[in-house]
Amino acid sequence: MEKNTQQLENEIEDLKHEIYLLKQSIHRLAITYIQDSKYPYWGKLLCFKIDEDKKNDFEFALSILSDRLSGIKIIVKDDDDIKNDMFISDDTIILKSKAERFPENLFINSIPTWNEVNSSLCSVLGFGGSHLRMLEDLLIAMRSQGMFISLINYFFPETNK
């Protein structure tokens, strides 16, 4: 029985190593391929190794920032305080349990500043201060793919096409 356990552990380690090699190969492929002009954002996600959870959080943060830019009020409510009639409101209502995963300044009810956008999005993506160019590239690619156009144009008007 001990031999079977050891064999299974070896197989698991082999699989982990194969997964690692696959991830590295995908990353190299993403860097070297010619990006499809229809999907530049998805290409950047691959190049920057942004996983699905971070992508979803990034897009959620951008939707909040877009609402703020549009003047929509952001309300963070305790999970127990949510009532069905609240969802009829034009306000954006966020559960506190979800909001706690994001920087507090994301939910301020004012027009977002570039510093707020930069710090919030870099935090969500796990980017350090030296990754500003990566964030800018990601946003420009996203706009090229037709996403969050108003918000991105607000911060990057000189790069409009």
For residue 77, the cross-strand partners are 95
Q: 94 lies in a domain? A: no
pLDDT, position 30: 65
Residue 117 forms part of a structural domain: yes
**Token pair in block for residue 105:** 């300044």
- pLDDT for 50 equals 92
- The C-alpha angle 49, 59, 157, rounded to 5 degrees, equals 100
Looking at residue 88, what is its pLDDT?
Answer: 64
In a domain, 93, yes or no: no
Number of domains composing the chain: 1
The answer to whether residue 155 is domain-embedded is: yes
- Please choose, from the candidates 79, 123, 90, the residue with its C-alpha nearest in 3D space to the C-alpha of residue 105: 123
For residue 122, give its domain range. 34-70+104-159
pLDDT string in tens for the chain (161-residue length): 667 888 888 899 989 989 888 888 777 776 666 666 788 999 889 888 899 999 999 999 999 999 999 999 998 988 777 665 555 678 888 889 999 999 999 999 999 999 999 999 999 999 876 788 899 999 999 999 999 999 999 999 876 55
- Does a structural domain hold residue 153? yes
Residue 27 maps to a domain:
no
**Can you give the pTM of this predicted structure?**
0.78
C-alpha–C-alpha distance, residues 139 and 159, integer Å:
11
